[in-house]
Amino acid sequence: MKNIFIPIISVLMLAFSSSVFAEEELTVKVNQHAYFPGGQTALATWLSENLKYPQECIDKKVEGEVIVSFIVERDGSITGIHMEQSVDSKLDAEAKRVVGVMPNWVAAEMNGVKTRSRLMLPIRFTLPQTK
């Protein structure tokens, strides 16, 4: 029987870590933060279905929380993916990969106008429990 492991994903503080960019200025207040379609529960489900725990990290028993920052553009697309907190290069690469293939988000709004915003997404890699 094949064991299937779904990593535990930490998505708390996602929308609370957003900031908005003008061309050179950083504005920290928005009326509506950018969000994943369907909200945090949908994001956690999407991540658990698409995030792949690197086998080498499982073998070496590497786990922990990485934090990925990215920009949600006015059209909802994801750009500017950057590691804010690292655990292991393979976990970092997987976190960046999965953020890069996310479906479009709903963009942040300021006074009814869609605007770019930076979000920080914590992703927790937890080793599967052995029986």
As a whole number, mean pLDDT of residues 105-114 equals 93
As a whole number, mean pLDDT of residues 35-42 equals 97
Strands 117-125 and 64-72: antiparallel
More confident residue, 24 or 126: 126
Which of 70, 4, 9, 16 has the alpha carbon at shortest distance from 41?
9
40 sits in which H/E element: helix 39-50
Which of 81, 102, 98, 78 has the alpha carbon at shortest distance from 90?
98
The reply to whether the predicted model has a pTM over 0.85 is no
Q: Residues 68-83: pLDDT tens digits?
A: 999 999 999 999 999 9
Which of 128, 97, 130, 88 has the alpha carbon at shortest distance from 7?
128
Alpha-carbon span 100 to 23, nearest angstrom? 23
CA distances for 69 relative to 3, 80, 131, angstroms: 31, 8, 35
Structural domains of the chain sorted by starting position, each given as residue range(s) with its CATH number in brackets:
15-125 (3.30.2420.10)
